[in-house]
Amino acid sequence: MKIGVSSASLYPLHAEDAFRELAALGIKNAELFANSTCEAYDPVVSDIEATMRGNGMNIISFHPFSSPMESVFLFSTYDRRIQEMIDMYSGFFKTMQRIGAKIFVLHGAILSSKCPPEHYIKQFRLLAETAREYGVTVAQENVSYCMSGDIEFLKMMKRELGDLAKFVLDLKQSRRSHTDTFEYVRALWDSIIHLHISDGDGDRDCLPVGQGSFDFRRLMLEMSAMGYDGAYIVELYRDNYDSFDRLRESVDRLTEIACGCGLM
């Protein structure tokens, strides 16, 4: 089992600085959140690679800052904008191939875009098939303010896309969608390939692991029973915790729970 942290958790540090902080914490698995286009290219990527090599780290996934643009680019009907995003994301896929990241996290169209489901499927397929040329899998995240926040929409994607339907389950986003996380697990099970982890309680939807009431033991056991062999990536917002030590503590707590379940 791989347990790690997204560099998004250290925003607004530059990506290369975030990786140095993660390395100092002893984090071995990470998600690269690129907060600008330059963070997907040299010299920043070379800097990140040096930190990886020097500290035995793996980059499992890539999440772009451009998620809010997807509605008016990829999921539009305007050919030039669509091609611009395919070109941009192809550049990201090439970098992912270089650094060994296999999973590309997609938010998709926002609710107000009113993107027809059939068009959404067509555009997702276009991106997913492009990514496959680079050995990358596009995974749809459940995002509360996007079409993907609706569990019925995700079920439709699973039906229509077949083996192209892959998903990122984000715990804080399931809370924000007021949907039980385990409903997503039961609905998408074998198509979930990545997890964004946070704790929460009745008042707060995003906390370090161990500071809320979420049942991580149940999550790990249910995911394991369904054959899940992906990563558990801690993704917090910077105002959800006081010091970077909480990231390390979250990883340690997840590791402890996994060991208690006999999964490590």
pTM summary value? 0.97
pLDDT exceeds cutoff 90 at 186: yes
- The per-residue pLDDT for 174 is 97
- The per-residue pLDDT for 95 is 98
**Hey, what amino acid is at 16?**
E
CB atoms within 10 A of CB 254: 23
DSSP calls for 95-142: HHHHHT--EEEE---BGGG---HHHHHHHHHHHHHHHHTTT-EEEEE-
> What is the helix, strand, coil percentage profile of the chain, to 5?
50, 15, 30
Average pLDDT, the chain: 97
**pLDDT band, residue 191 (cuts 50/70/90):** very high
CA distance linking residue 80 with residue 187, whole number of Å: 35
Q: Are 82 and 74 in contact (CB under 8 A)?
A: yes
Task: Please tell me the CATH code under which domain 2-260 is placed.
Answer: 3.20.20.150
**pLDDT band, residue 19 (cuts 50/70/90):** very high
Q: Where are the domains of the chain?
A: 2-260
CA distance linking residue 131 with residue 103, whole number of Å: 10
CB atoms within 10 A of CB 4: 24
**pLDDT band, residue 202 (cuts 50/70/90):** confident
**pLDDT band, residue 264 (cuts 50/70/90):** confident
CA distance linking residue 172 with residue 7, whole number of Å: 17
CA distance linking residue 69 with residue 51, whole number of Å: 30
pLDDT in tens, 140-160: 999 999 999 999 999 999 999
Q: Are 105 and 194 in contact (CB under 8 A)?
A: yes
pLDDT in tens, 101-135: 999 999 999 999 989 999 999 999 999 999 999 99
